[in-house]
Structure 1
Amino acid sequence: MIIAVTGSIGSGKSKVARRLAMLMQAEHCDVDHSCREMMDKGGEGWQRVIATWGLRFQADDGSLDRVKLREAIFNEPSIRLELENILHPLVHEHLHDLIGRCKKNGKALVAEIPLLFETGWQDEFDAVVTVSATRSQCVDRVVTRDKVSRDQAIKALDAQMDMDEKIGRSDYVIDNSGSEEKTHLQVEALSLDLLRK
């Protein structure tokens, strides 16, 4: 079974995806991590960023100045869109290859994809799980995790599809607004349901 886990920034989808993969003994893919690897110096994403913006986002050692790029993404929507146009095809190809290998080997896959619906990839999965939390929780978590201002966290959240719309388009929802124990119980129940299928 090929499963996508999505949700707004700060909703807790990473924790849910990793736990679900562990419980199902499935492969786990974090699309954000794949993006970061592609942006490492010499990577295909890095090469395309340099080709597009020259030295604007390059650090002294030639690597990507991720802080400067992140600030530009928050403050200039055109930069975010252009970066997505660079990275999404690369990530989609990587994901497509991984799905093919898992299907060939009869292995389940849990793919963590923040912009699943925004990219239109949802139909490639047997099940879509959205991890939800309150808007204020998402903002607080992003501020704490990424060391950004509340304004930047809100901009990042507003750039994504509304949580209610994601929930309405999903097969399953994990409510991550309560305690960690409550979330774990939901994920355990979900894993049993998916394994039965």
Structure 2
Amino acid sequence: MSTYAVAVTGGIASGKSAVTAAFEKRGIVVADADLAARDVVAPGSQGLAEITRTFGPKVLTPDGSLDRAAMRALVFADPQARTTLESITHPRIRELLLGQAQQATSPYVVVAIPLLTEIGGRRAYPWLQRVLLVDVEPETQWRRLMTRDAMSDETARNMIAAQATPAARMAIADDIVRNEGTLEQLDSAIAELHTLYLRLAGAA
């Protein structure tokens, strides 16, 4: 069981997956909020049942799974619907991540929470010991989105603008890794942080 938990957070296209992969390469267990978000609304889950009771069958596909496109359209058009959806999913995501963290067998556990700032930071996850921010310039995010997801310039900029500001993310961060360079440079930075976290967790 890991009792020392490090959150990894950052804006869209900042390179969080590369960071968590670097920790995994060093034997560190990663609990991923994006994966947890899918699990809590999987067919047969209590989360999906509550969503269906709340929003009706219109948010389901013919095979009974969540129609993500329909759900996105609904919450985009109605802020109250988004708040209601989050009240169903977020507590379940937090519970699942905590369970995964407690079951981790590595010296410390990394918890990937992309929207940590937007959902309340440490107030939402009081069991986190440390927060690592993966930081890049907005123009880097824009360039990566345009290349990776082949989206329009307007969509890319709107997605970046809709997230927390860099200053708000930095306000909750204990550590910051800049991801503007090569994968080798990023890996070197993670190696130093790994040494730090082992020491903080009492494993070095």
Match of 1:62 in 2: 64
Match of 2:117 in 1: 117
Match of 1:128 in 2: 131
Q: Aligned partners of 1:36, 1:14: CA distance in 2, in Å?
A: 17
Q: Aligned partners of 1:148, 1:51: CA distance in 2, in Å?
A: 34
Which moves more between the two structures, 184-193 or 133-142? 133-142
Match of 1:160 in 2: 163
Shift of 1:77: 3.8
The residue matched to 1:5 in structure 2 has which SS?
strand
Tell me: CA distance 1:34–1:186, structure 2 relative to 1, closer, same or farther (3 Å).
Answer: same
Tell me: CA distance 1:78–1:126, structure 2 relative to 1, closer, same or farther (3 Å).
Answer: same
Shift of 1:138: 2.2
Shift of 1:160: 2.6
Match of 1:18 in 2: 21
Shift of 1:4: 0.6
Shift of 1:140: 4.0
Match of 1:46 in 2: 48
User: Which whole-Å deviations, capped at 9, do the CAs of 1:88-146 have from their partners, x for residues lacking one?
Assistant: 100111122233334xx674210001122333352422211000112133234345555
Q: Aligned partners of 2:81, 2:107: CA distance in 1, in Å?
A: 37
Do the aligned residues in 2 keep the contact of 1:128 with 1:171 (CA within 8 Å)?
yes
Q: Aligned partners of 1:152, 1:33: CA distance in 2, in Å?
A: 24
- CA-atom RMSD in angstroms: 2.5
Tell me: CA distance 1:171–1:100, structure 2 relative to 1, closer, same or farther (3 Å).
Answer: same
Q: 2:30 aligns with which of 23, 28, 31?
A: 28
Normalization by structure 2: what TM-score? 0.81
Please, which runs of 5 or more residues in structure 1 have no aligned partner? none
Number of equivalent positions: 194
Q: Aligned partners of 1:138, 1:72: CA distance in 2, in Å?
A: 27
Letter of the 1:9 counterpart: I
Normalization by structure 1: what TM-score? 0.83
Tell me: CA distance 1:74–1:19, structure 2 relative to 1, closer, same or farther (3 Å).
Answer: farther
Do the aligned residues in 2 keep the contact of 1:74 with 1:155 (CA within 8 Å)?
no
Give aligned-pair identity as a percent: 30
Do the aligned residues in 1 keep the contact of 2:36 with 2:97 (CA within 8 Å)?
no
